[in-house]
Structure 1
Amino acid sequence: MIKFTNLTGAEEIGSNSYLLEIDGTRVVLDAGMHPKREGHAAKPQYSLIGEKAPDAIFVTHSHLDHIGTLPVLQELYPSSPVYMTNGTAVLAEAMLHNSVNVMTSKRTSEGIVEYPFFTHGDLDRIVDGWTERSYNEAFRIGKHGEVMSVLYDAGHILGSCGVYLESPSGHSVLYTGDIQLEDQSMIPGADLPADGVDTLIIECTRGSAERAVHYTREKELERLASAISETLAANGAVLIPVFALGKSQELLYNIQKFKEEGKIPDVPVYFGGLGSKVTGIYDKLSDVTPRMNPGYRLKEVVETLPLPRQGKAPLRVSPGNIYLVSSGMMNEKTPSNSLAEQVLPKSNNAILFVGYCDPDSPAGALKATPPGELVKLREKGGQAVPRNCRVESFDFSGHAPREALVEYIHLLHPKRVVLVHGDPEAIEWMRDEVQRILPGMEIVIPEPGATYDLMD
């Protein structure tokens, strides 16, 4: 008997969390926090788990939409063991401590009385309960070790994994988490099972985005190098909004390679905050986690300059510099949002997006604004400024393109597919395409809060 309950509470990418019941063993997969909701609405529907503690909790990686409420879940079920890779454990501790700071600030500035969901002290206490497992290491969970488990490299960010579970009756389940099947600049592509999976639970993040026919990562890097070089040659400033975890490290590495190869001049790169702390973790684990370039330590090779600490000095843009700063969505009160207002009005400047931008975010609003028109990046305060600078987007996603996801499903040929972690349009495209190439395949699209019997 296999049952699956969607705990997310939203038909979109958000507070990712799922309850899987396998022949009586109950497992929670991920414990996220919704990036666009606040307070209790940002939590998964943990009440659906019930009073009985899960036999295990698995965390696939350290992005907050997958780990943001892990301390809340652990507080509810303190006896449940928590499994993750070493890379995820080290990164998760840093990301969750930063989340405490963000939530505390929002309690003060926005009056969200539920925040913070947990404290720094709570985190220091619960991390000792995390159990680290290596990739491809088989181990057993459940009261009597009934269910065999393996964590596979998911290729998304440092430490990311897919979770394989095999029941006493022989039914096998693979939950991919977030996956990238292709090599990135620093992180190798996923190393997931090629067969032997009955039920596949797979992400659909990029299901609504068609990749360009002639896309290659090498061509995209050349395009990025040219955009940076041309902007600097015009005595402009380059703003690259990035996420602190994953994208920052990829871009630091490539900007350094551009300099070494003479594709861009050796100009200052401003970088700091949480991204710098995460980069230190990437370096610390450079010899013990899968890498395209084992032993490469960014902080030993890449020279960067820190931005002034928030509130200590104004953020100022100067021509001839590269600003690699958070957040990737240019959310309010982040360096990329503040700097963008200075970069936008001048035609010799550039804002270069290197990842996904939610249409409802300030970055999404900017990308939708035609050249020359006014755009306002802050709801409270700030002023509308003309979009005169160069604005371009590049595809360096840590998520597999939809075509690769479908190819993997075709290769694996499971008995059923459960489509998760995608907006409705993305889920629908994935469903239609899987039905086209694998007619008769059982496809489950789980609604928030609903439970599904997955039978052979």
Structure 2
Amino acid sequence: MSQVDTQLEELKSEIEAEIPSTISITDVKYEGPELVVYTRDPKEFAGDGNLVRQLASKLRKRITVRPDPDVLSRPAEAREKVMDVIPEEAGVQDLDFHEDTGEVVIEAEKPGMVIGRHGSTLREITREVGWTPEVVRTPPIESSTVSNVRNFLKQERQERRDILERVGRQIHREEMQDEQWVRITTLGCCREVGRAAFILNTAETRVLVDCGDKPGAEGEVPYLQIPEALGAGAQNLDAVVLTHAHLDHSALIPLLFKYGYDGPIYCTEPTRDLMGLLTLDYLDVASKEGRTPPYESAQVREAIKHCIPLEYGDVTDIAPDLKLTFHNAGHILGSAVSHFHVGDGLYNVAFSGDIHYDDTRLFNGAVNDFPRVEALVMESTYGGRNDYQTDQEDSEEALIDVINEAHEKGGKVLIPAFAVGRSQEIMLVIEEAMRTGKIPEMPVHLDGMIWEATAIHTTYPEYLRDDLQDRIFHDDENPFLADQFNHIDGGEDERQEVVDEGPAIILSTSGMVTGGPIMSWLRHLGSDEDSTLTFVGYQAQGTLGRRIQNGWDEIPVSDFGSGRDGRGSKLTLEMDVETVDGFSGHADREGLMNFVRNMSPRPEKVLCVHGDESSVQDFSSALYHEFNMRTFAPKNLETFRFK
């Protein structure tokens, strides 16, 4: 019997000693980080609302209770009883019974009403029918991404269970090493923005944190082939942790599966869905631009299948000597500050990912309260000494002024925007400004993936600010459903119709003008002196967006997708160019300083990454002088030993 099997037998005995003798346990398994307990008496288990909580606390494990398949009532019978328990106002759309696991997936417009206060309705469902309920939200805006991900995972349930069981056994394996140490190796993202990738190494475990590309720099990818990463074989990676879905952090996650990785990806649920959306689009854009994609859609599906979603605040075992906890990063939907607890109190490391410290219209500000943090890997995008963003209220007024000026001239406002995060922030500003009469009502056209990304935001309102959640729960108040918003889905013909009509606002990907539909809009509107190109997000060095910001007025515009012969051409830019600061998803210099200033406790060491060379060096120096802590502005391919 293996060490894991022995451990499971001992856990089964412990559980049996803790529960009433009337409840039988038929099996205990690991599925990923969770301990799954099978019982012939699920109704009795559900009768005591504190029993699972007490077991989880005593065993210090996440526990799921499932009915033994032998005791399940027939789905047709159970369906009627489940519907009797759930309030009609919950808006149940579908019940999907899975006899292999004894779970019933309930899709509802209002999941909270299915869950009930402290899970009371879920327990009542189990008491009535024995099945274990799992609840998902019906998106207020139909999302093909969410639908496709859910259907795919449903089709792959058996293989996914096999993956989870294998991962669970790996997590709970016996530790083999006597020595203890902690190292971080930088594979990208140092003294540059993009290709985020780090290896967190202990004597027992190797974890990859993020794996992105570099905007505007084709071929510059993380140094994955070094011995500390995949050089010793992808199978030597225990886990991948994805802080958020932006491509400079996620684009090359599927590539790992091409190299033979077959392990878990830990992320939040919206990050999983957004990664699928953005990486598939990444392949599509590469193909349209005549580039060879680094992987295929099959690897994107593999990545999704291997995702293990975690919620903010859940402490989760991901290796024998590593616990991971996600906290809100305030950057984009599902973005997470990733906190690692190494060993039995040996050391604690946090990776900020990308953060926004202050509240925005979309999100609460980043969490910086941890039990312990000795080392922090900290983004420094706006860490330069002069990187102070405009106050949010002033930024909104500046955008309103730009829109009003263009409207008075009869022109259009073209906003290059990231599909995820900034677009939704701008949509909220525009919706309120029109509703309150600060700008005239006019069409707001959303091109590229913006509408789909918005639909995903409405699927996961629990990741948004409280007041925005409340509005999304009420269709008549959902700001994303405002009549002014129009999804561009008719390609060039529809774009030409928009150009031929009157004043309008156009939000289009890509946010750094590196490809996608924004190039078509520049061809259509670039020579219109009455229209305004307005930047609202960070433009990385080497991108066309940064060049236009710096004064370029003759720009290369690819003709791919325009119905022409595919040759490149030059465009003289005659439209006004404006930059409205303050809408970035990144904290500015003051926000970054405050994130560290208010950390409790403050870290002993900080690695300043994800910023231009001057930004990371300025920020590293400022932290050292302000807080007398050890700081570093590492280069790529450096290794730091912390213990």
1:308, CA displacement in angstroms? 5.7
Deviation string for 1:11-50 (max 9, x for gaps)?
Answer: 41121110011343221111112223324x4344244312
Q: Residue 617 of structure 2 aligns with which residue?
A: 428
C-alpha distance in structure 2 between counterparts of 1:122 and 1:263, whole Å: 47
SS at match of 2:506: strand
C-alpha distance in structure 2 between counterparts of 1:146 and 1:392, whole Å: 47
Contact 1:352 1:394 in 2 (8 A): no
- 1:193-208 counterparts in 2 under 5 A? 193=369, 196-208=372-384
The structure with the largest alpha-carbon Rg is 2
Structure 1 pair 42/80, CA: closer, same or farther in 2 (3 Å)? same
Matched, 1:139 2:139: no
Q: Residue 17 of structure 1 aligns with which residue?
A: 197
C-alpha distance in structure 2 between counterparts of 1:443 and 1:268, whole Å: 49
C-alpha distance in structure 1 between counterparts of 2:335 and 2:197, whole Å: 16
1:311, CA displacement in angstroms? 5.5
Q: Residue 133 of structure 2 aligns with which residue?
A: none
- 1:307-326 counterparts in 2 under 5 A? 307=488, 309-310=490-491, 315=496, 317=499, 318-326=501-509
Q: Which stretch has the larger CA shift, 390-399 or 183-192?
A: 390-399
Deviation string for 1:325-363 (max 9, x for gaps)?
Answer: 12222234x332332344344443222211112343222
Matched, 1:445 2:633: yes
- The structure showing larger relative contact order (alpha-carbon pairs under 8 Å, at least 6 residues apart) is 1
Matched, 1:88 2:271: yes
Contact 1:209 1:402 in 2 (8 A): yes
Whichever residue aligns with residue 339 of structure 1, its letter is W
Q: Which of 192, 205, 221 lines up with 1:42 in the alignment?
A: 221
Contact 1:154 1:162 in 2 (8 A): yes
C-alpha distance in structure 1 between counterparts of 2:616 and 2:630, whole Å: 14
- 1:273-312 counterparts in 2 under 5 A? 273-287=448-462, 291-295=466-470, 296=472, 297-307=478-488, 309-310=490-491
Runs of 5+ unmatched residues, structure 1? none
- 1:22-33 counterparts in 2 under 5 A? 22-33=202-213
Q: Residue 428 of structure 2 aligns with which residue?
A: 253
1:95, CA displacement in angstroms? 1.2
Contact 2:196 2:248 in 1 (8 A): yes
Matched, 1:185 2:361: yes
C-alpha distance in structure 2 between counterparts of 1:292 and 1:221, whole Å: 19
Q: Which stretch has the larger CA shift, 186-195 or 163-172?
A: 186-195
If each structure's helix is expressed as a fraction of its own residues, which one has the higher value?
2
SS at match of 1:13: coil
Contact 1:268 1:321 in 2 (8 A): yes
Structure 1 pair 274/179, CA: closer, same or farther in 2 (3 Å)? same
1:91, CA displacement in angstroms? 1.1
Contact 1:54 1:77 in 2 (8 A): no
SS at match of 2:569: coil
Q: Residue 340 of structure 2 aligns with which residue?
A: 165
Q: Residue 343 of structure 1 aligns with which residue?
A: 525
Q: Residue 557 of structure 2 aligns with which residue?
A: 378
C-alpha distance in structure 1 between counterparts of 2:527 and 2:267, whole Å: 46
Whichever residue aligns with residue 336 of structure 2, its letter is C
Whichever residue aligns with residue 15 of structure 1, its letter is R
1:192, CA displacement in angstroms? 2.7
- 1:48-63 counterparts in 2 under 5 A? 48=227, 49=229, 50-51=232-233, 53-63=236-246
Whichever residue aligns with residue 325 of structure 1, its letter is S
Matched, 1:101 2:284: yes
Q: Which stretch has the larger CA shift, 191-200 or 247-256?
A: 191-200
Q: Which stretch has the larger CA shift, 253-262 or 267-276?
A: 267-276
Contact 1:376 1:383 in 2 (8 A): yes
Whichever residue aligns with residue 124 of structure 1, its letter is R
Q: What is the TM-score with the length of structure 1 in the denominator? A: 0.89
Q: Which of 118, 124, 143 lines up with 2:301 in the alignment?
A: 124
1:377, CA displacement in angstroms? 4.1
Contact 2:415 2:533 in 1 (8 A): yes
Q: Residue 418 of structure 1 aligns with which residue?
A: 607
Structure 1 pair 321/289, CA: closer, same or farther in 2 (3 Å)? closer
Deviation string for 1:51-101 (max 9, x for gaps)?
Answer: 352222100000011111111123435342211011111111111221221
C-alpha distance in structure 1 between counterparts of 2:184 and 2:427, whole Å: 40
- Give the number of equivalent residue pairs: 440
Whichever residue aligns with residue 122 of structure 1, its letter is Q
Whichever residue aligns with residue 301 of structure 1, its letter is A
Q: Residue 330 of structure 1 aligns with which residue?
A: 513
